[in-house]
A and B are shown apart, each in its own frame.
Chain A
Amino acid sequence: MIFGIVIALVGMAALAWGFRFAGQAITGNTPRFRDMPFGVAYGYVLGVLLLAWLVWAYIQGRSADPLIANKFFFLRIAVEGFLIFAVAAWLFRLLGRSVGTAWSRKMFRSMPLTASFGILTILIYATFAIFAGLIAPYGQEQILPGVAANIVPGGDPALGGDPAFLFGTDQIGRDILSRLIYGAQNTVGIAFATTVLAFLLGGTFGFLAATLGGWLDQVLSRMVDVLMAIPSLIFALLLMTIASVWAPQLGIPLTVFMVVIIAVIDSTRVYRLARAVGQNIVVMDYIEAAKLRGEGLGYLVFKEILPNATAPLLAEFGLRFCFVFLTIAALSFLGVGIQPPLADWGTMVRDLGGFVNYAQFAPLAATAPLLAAGAIALLTVAVNFVVDWMLHRSSGLKE
């Protein structure tokens, strides 16, 4: 195998040289080919070969022989998904450019495709999360009588599917599609609430520390330093162990504890940012003027500092949401996060994960855990794309 890789690398080097030489000969030595470094030529060849391989794999995935088709099934889905999302994002941007207020049209005109993909995805998730009860065909905890467990997704009876359950059923016969839709409500909703709580805590204390300074700033900052010295997932797991003993005794659901624990841990990061941003604002002349006017602390924080700190805090909100969302997913995946019977993507991945091993013979069976994991990944990727674009826009980085 190593021998094959070496031969392929050498072969590509020869191809790259040939490509550059041919380019020089055909175009009469234009600067584009004359000054092309060898690395760039190699990159072009590598890119073209990669593209050719993808097309070949896609055609293989459509082949009539099920053994070959199964092997490339997931690549086929990935390619199709990528193309569909790209087209949808492009259409969405087109729509945004022609519909809406002058401000939103202007925003959509300068938007890269990744950001419009992100906004579209977030809107779709929000719709699913808000209207989960109306969209989902069955209840999230509903164990349907007379329905077999582990129905294969796809809805094709010949492959063990059922048209009534397009995404199949899980290990105790609940509809996976409904659970995925309710998962949007539970997982995203809980993550959103946690992030809001973290921002309320961290933002308030951060601004207070920045405006008041002195011993309050010192005490809060040292406390945050200590909390940040423990890796967050480890600390969350430790506290969840303790909470899992307290929860039944106090009669409070474990999920509430989880929200508070993660919010407190994440508020330390928000505190750092809010304090740093706040300190930059506090030294401004208009704050001095407001102080001389005799304005109170509440006015200073909410009317003077907060409006000027919105841009960095908004970007941080997106990133923080991703971290919180991933932490909750990881905790649920490890079995100490959102508790059953609530439908949740992390728990679904853990419960259905074993089906990945059947991918070679029944690729549809393996899609169930990947759908849940993919749903998590898609949302965080979307949020990250939007945040990336926002940061790029606000910093004016155009290089």
Chain B
Amino acid sequence: MGNVLTIIFQRLALGLLTLLIVSVVIFVAVNLLPGDFAQSILGQAATPEAVASIRRDLGLDQPMVTRYFDWLGGALRGDFGSSFARANFASFSGTNSGATTVAEQIAPLFANTMFLAMVTAAIAVPFAIILGILAALYRNSVFDRATNIFTLSSISSPEFFLAYILILFFAVLNPIFPSLSTIFDDMSFSERLEKSMLPALTLTLVVTAHMMRMTRAAIINLLASSYIEMARLKGLSPMRVIVIHALPNALAPIINVIALNLAYLITGVVVVEVVFVYPGIGQLFVDSVKIRDIPVVQACCLIFATAFILLNLTADIMSILSNPRLRHPK
């Protein structure tokens, strides 16, 4: 067992290292911006004194390395600095009400996005596995071919196309779900669920296809092995052979692909949140990109990258744990 722990620690350390380098990449990329933030905040009204004072306030007069470690240290404590847009607004209105720090702004939206991702996963994972098992069971039948065409089409469609199709059929023509996902903090769980149903269904369509195809492929790969033939010769029903005998051994690749697809959800969520005006971190990210609110863009990027790396790491560790051959490397 000690062996496994070492491997997991190695992977964790590698993941942390990757994250560190990614944070450097994000920081350097943002610092490639021409001019500086102080000037862009003040715009045409920039006097040298005002620019200098803002530079001092935001710490822009420090060398880049110092600023990087300040930013990283802050980010580790959950302090991503203050949003330029909000700070600007606060200085104009003269009040300091509302959330001006990036962390305060992101926290509720992050919770919303996690909620959406979890609803999606709760629908998509069982759906994909059941479809995959059925497609493996009735392989090369009309059902298999129809699912193949359907899933291939839904992987290849852009997210906004699927989103508009769902809006068209389930919000406009048959008003079952709302087409706009306005979510407030004091909403009940069932209300939240109803409002986030269409975005969740869109994301489900996007990720199910890949998971289902992998499930089918993993099971079919195993069907040629001799122990499956043995089970079949015993006279077990095809369903029992697949669910009891093949599925547990196919679990490693399936878990792997599920984790990878949840990681994919993170990028898919951006477009879907914009279509449905879902108040999540993806929407915030796109808005900040448009108004060049650098601290928010940096923070969102770092959060997305962290989630992505974590899920990839989980996939890695899961596949080691479920595969004895990887658990005891030569």
Output the nearest chain B residue to A233 by Cβ-Cβ distance. B267
**Contacting pair A229 B34 (CB below 8 A):** no
In the complex, the answer to whether A230 meets B140 with C-beta atoms within 8 Å is no
A231 adjacent to B164 (CB under 8 Å): no
Q: Which residues of chain A from 351 to 382 have any CB-CB distance to chain B below 8 Å in the complex?
A: 353, 356-357, 359-360, 366, 369-370, 373-374, 376-377, 380-381
Q: Could you give, for residues 266-309 of chain B, a 1 whenever the CB lies within 8 Å of some chain A CB and a 0 otherwise?
A: 11001100110000000001100110100001001100110011
The residues of B that contact A357 with a CB separation of less than 8 Å are 167, 172, 179
* A229 touching B309 in the complex, CB below 8 Å, given contacts A376-B158, A380-B156: yes
- Given B143, B174, B239, B274, which contacts A43 in the complex, CB threshold below 8 Å? B143
List chain A residues, Cβ under 8 A from B165.
370
Of A162-170, A204-212, A235-243, which binds chain B?
Answer: A235-243
Tell me whether B90 is interfacial, beta carbon within 8 Å. no
- Contact status of A384 and B173, CB under 8 A, knowing A232-B267, A377-B161: no
- Chain A contacts of B158 at CB under 8 A? 326, 329-330, 333, 346, 373, 376-377, 380
B270 and A237 contact, CB distance less than 8 A:
yes
**Quick one: given A74-B168, A226-B22, A230-B305, are A376 and B286 in contact (CB under 8 Å)?**
no
Q: Which of B4-12, B23-31, B96-104 binds A?
A: B23-31
Contact indicator A374/B237 (Cβ below 8 Å) = no
A302 is an interface residue with CB less than 8 A from chain B? no
**Bound Cα distance A114, B148 (Å):** 11
**A335 to B275 alpha-carbon distance, docked (Å):** 12
Question: Cβ of B140 and Cβ of A234 under 8 Å apart?
Answer: no
B56 at the interface (CB under 8 A from A): no
Check B156 against A384 for contact (C-beta < 8 Å): yes
State whether B305 touches A229 (Cβ < 8 A): yes
Q: How many residues of A contact B (CB 8 A)?
A: 57
Instruction: Find A356's partner among B26, B172, B220, B290 (CB 8 Å cutoff).
Output: B172
Complex contact A230–B308 (CB within 8 A): yes
A383 lies within 8 A of B156 (CB):
yes
- Most chain A beta carbons < 10 A, residue from B149, B155, B158, B301: B158
CB distance from A336 to the nearest CB of B (A): 6
Knowing A336-B290, A381-B153, say if A242 contacts B172 (CB, 8 Å).
no
Q: Which secondary structure dominates chain A's binding surface? A: helix
Contacts known (A231-B267, A333-B271, A359-B172); A238 close to B297, Cβ less than 8 A: yes
A384 pairs with B270, CB closer than 8 A: no
Interface contact A237-B220, CB-CB below 8 Å: no
Q: What mask results when residues 303 to 326 of chain A are scored 1 for a CB within 8 Å of chain B, else 0?
A: 000000000000000000010001
Q: Is the CB of A241 within 8 A of B297?
A: yes
**Cα distance A249–B290 when bound, in Å?**
17
Q: Please, which residues of chain B bring their CB within 8 A of the CB of A241?
A: 289, 292, 297
> Which residues of the other chain, A, contact B263 by a CB distance below 8 angstroms?
231
A253 within 8 Å of B by Cβ? no
Residue of A nearest to B153 (CB): A381
- B182 contacts A by Cβ under 8 Å: no
- Measured between C-beta atoms, what is the minimum distance from A286 to chain B in Å? 30
**B312 contacts across to A, CB distance below 8 A:** 229
A222 CB, min distance to chain B CBs, angstroms: 9
Asked if B159 and A330 make an inter-chain contact with CB atoms under 8 angstroms apart, the answer reads yes
Return the chain B residue nearest A377 by Cβ: B157
Give Cα distance in the complex from A246 to B172, angstroms: 42
Encode contact with B along A245-285: 1 for CB under 8 Å, 0 otherwise.
11001000000000000000000000000000000000000
Chain A residue at minimal CB-CB distance from B263 = A231
Contacting pair A356 B297 (CB below 8 A): no
The answer to whether A234 and B157 touch across the interface, beta carbons within 8 angstroms, is no
Q: Does B169 contact A (CB under 8 A)?
A: yes
A369 touches B164 (CB 8 A): yes
A385 contacts B by Cβ under 8 Å? yes
Pairwise interchain contact B34-A249, C-beta atoms closer than 8 A: yes
Contact B285 A234 (CB under 8 A): yes
A231 / chain B contacts, CB cutoff of 8 Å: 263, 266-267, 304-305, 308
Q: Which residue of chain B is the closest to A398 with respect to CB atoms?
A: B140
In the bound assembly, the distance between CA atoms of A357 and B32 in angstroms comes to 42
Q: For B173, what are the chain A residues with a Cβ–Cβ distance below 8 Å?
A: 71, 74, 359-360
A40 at the interface (CB under 8 A from B): yes
- A225 interface contact, C-beta 8 A: yes
* In contact, B239 and A335 (Cβ under 8 angstroms): no
Assembled-state Cα–Cα distance A378/B136 (Å): 27
Assess whether A349 is interfacial by the CB under 8 Å rule.
yes
Q: Does A334 contact B (CB under 8 A)?
A: yes
Residues of B within 8 A of A334 (CB): 270-271, 274, 286, 289
* Cα-based distance from A272 to B239 in the complex (angstroms): 38
- Indicate which residue in B29, B153, B164 contacts A349 across the interface (CB closer than 8 Å): B164
> A37 at interface (Cβ–Cβ under 8 A)?
yes
Q: With the chains together, A2 CA to B297 CA distance in Å?
A: 43
B184 interface contact, C-beta 8 A: no
B18 interface contact, C-beta 8 A? yes
Alpha-carbon separation in the docked complex, A370 to B158 (Å)? 12
What separation, in Å, do the CA atoms of A374 and B164 have in the docked complex?
10
Question: In the complex, A249→B35 CA distance in Å?
Answer: 11
A326 to B160, CA, bound (A): 10
Tell whether, in the assembled complex, residue B270 and residue A233 are in contact, meaning their CB atoms are under 8 Å apart: yes
Residues from chain B with a CB closer than 8 A to the CB of A359 are 168, 172-173
CB pair A349–B292 under 8 Å, yes or no, is no
How distant is the Cα of A96 from the Cα of B200 in the complex, in angstroms?
43
List chain B residues, Cβ under 8 A from A376: 157-158, 161
Can you list 28 contacts pairing A with B, beta carbon distance less than 8 Å? A37-B237, A114-B149, A226-B18, A226-B21, A226-B22, A229-B312, A230-B301, A231-B305, A233-B267, A234-B267, A234-B305, A237-B270, A242-B32, A246-B32, A330-B160, A333-B158, A349-B161, A353-B275, A356-B167, A356-B168, A357-B179, A359-B172, A369-B164, A370-B168, A376-B157, A377-B158, A381-B153, A381-B157
Q: Interface on B for A, CB 8 Å cutoff?
A: 18-19, 21-22, 25-26, 29-30, 32-35, 138-140, 142-143, 149, 152-153, 155-161, 164-165, 167-169, 172-174, 179, 220, 237-239, 263, 266-267, 270-271, 274-275, 285-286, 289-290, 292, 297, 300-301, 304-305, 308-309, 312
A230-B301, A231-B266, A399-B220 given; 5 more Cβ-contact pairs under 8 Å: A74-B173, A231-B308, A246-B33, A334-B274, A399-B139
